[in-house]
Copies of this chain bind each other. A is one copy, B any other.
């Protein structure tokens, strides 16, 4: 890390500033030039765009606190979980603003509206999902590179889906969640380390790390209705997206708890399932959340997604590791991949039932196919670039360990040693476990 990371980060920030100077149109001047009675019209625009500000803030919480804390579940990798999440998102929202703006304006200068800011936050989510797949096995330098590359591919696919295919995907089940998951899985496949075939001792949670992760999980859960409705273009659709997401999420909680208990030994609940599968309803209802579906339909989607997600954690993730040599640290395939595909399929079915025009259905199917295909191709190429042994990758034994990239002062071992000497095992077990 000595110089590679700081130099690359500063270099990227300089590039961002130059690109903003070149491409971001300065609001006032534009309004002056295109409209003589400038103040009036600018005020109108601003008030309209400001209506999306609460939604922007809700999405913002999800990106920074939600995804950040969700990734603190590993007992020795919390600093990286929440810290590299912040770095990815802060760089990504700048690059997302630029690259999405350029796609939409066809290379012309463009203005920053609230919707741009929401879309920029959205673009970072794809990288945060993929980050989950490779969590603990990559360096911050690699994450800077993945941020730039993945957001570029995402912006291209997003443009294709929304501006060429004109498909519907309000909560971006396909374009963000399935895309981010399959991109991350492709990268994880390329970066597979046979040295980590055995379960790594660091790849565990402890009691308090699981509680930190619940902060992230709950803030994601709470604001998911805003995520799925933030970019809906009329109040009615926005409202419908909120209602459907709300009930889909609630249903997925109940089935996730039920299936977790069903599959674990002696009917116990598993924190990994609770942290993740309870959110699957939000992902899966994303594509059709603003369509004319009754709430009970959303609840069916959510119920299925919650159950499928738990089954994925239990059966698919181990299979991926052993058979496909794809090691998915956070199980993003179960939270974003499968539910994203369910969302895409639900969208296709809903459009097929609603619309007499079959081209719309084909569009939806093409959008799902395109999102997965670009994700896989983009992920394979990105993985190949990240595999170049120059990016300060951690050695196998230091994976999932903050102390490689962070100053970590302290140790439990020493504390434990002292206790061992002085206290009975019984007392100790009561004193130490909560720590």
Contact = CB atoms under 8 A, between A and B. Distances in A.
Interface of A: 1-7, 9-10, 12-13, 16-18, 20-21, 24, 26-28, 42-43, 46-47, 49-50, 53-54, 57-58, 60-61, 64-65, 68-69, 72, 75-79, 82-83, 86-87, 90-91, 93-94, 112, 114, 117, 140, 201-202, 204-212, 214-215, 218-219, 221-223, 225-226, 234-236, 238-240, 242-243, 246-247, 249-251, 253-255, 257-259, 261-262, 264-271, 274, 278, 292, 294-296, 299-300, 303, 397, 401-403, 405-416, 418-419, 422-423, 427-435
Given A222-B60, A250-B94, A295-B112, A86 B278 contact: yes
A274 B255 CA distance: 36
Contacts of A210: 79
A12 B251 CA distance: 10
Given A20-B294, A94-B251, A409-B433, 5 more contacts: A72-B211, A87-B254, A206-B435, A412-B434, A413-B429
Contact of A65 (B222, B261, B405): B222
Contacts of A412: 206-207, 412, 416, 432-435
B239 A50 contact: yes
B408 A434 contact: yes
Copies of this chain in the oligomer = 3
Nearest to A243: B112
B49 A218 contact: no
A167 to B, nearest CB: 22
A90 B434 contact: no
Contacts of A410: 75, 204-207, 430-434
A303 B13 CA distance: 8
B406 A269 contact: yes
- Which 5 pairs of residues, A with B, have the shortest CB-CB distance? A410-B433, A1-B267, A411-B433, A90-B253, A76-B434
A117 B243 contact: yes
B258 A405 contact: no
If over half of A's interface residues share one DSSP class (helix, strand or loop), that class is named, otherwise mixed; here it is helix
Nearest to A90: B253
B79 A20 contact: no
Contacts of A72: 211
Given A2-B267, A94-B250, A258-B6, A201 B430 contact: yes
A50 B235 contact: yes
Contacts of A239: 46, 49-50, 114
Nearest to A91: B254
Contacts of A212: 208, 211
Nearest to A219: B65
Given A258-B9, A410-B434, A434-B435, A218 B65 contact: yes
Given A267-B6, A299-B20, A418-B422, A258 B13 contact: yes
A211 B208 CA distance: 10
Contacts of A264: 407
B201 A431 contact: yes
23 contacts: A2-B266, A2-B267, A5-B257, A9-B258, A9-B261, A17-B296, A20-B299, A26-B294, A47-B235, A53-B54, A57-B223, A65-B222, A78-B434, A79-B269, A86-B218, A140-B269, A207-B433, A207-B434, A268-B405, A270-B407, A271-B407, A403-B433, A411-B430
Contacts of A205: 409-410
A266 B435 contact: no
B24 A296 contact: yes
Given A64-B221, A207-B434, A253 B408 contact: no
Residue from A205, A303, A431 having most chain B Cβ neighbours under 10 A: A431
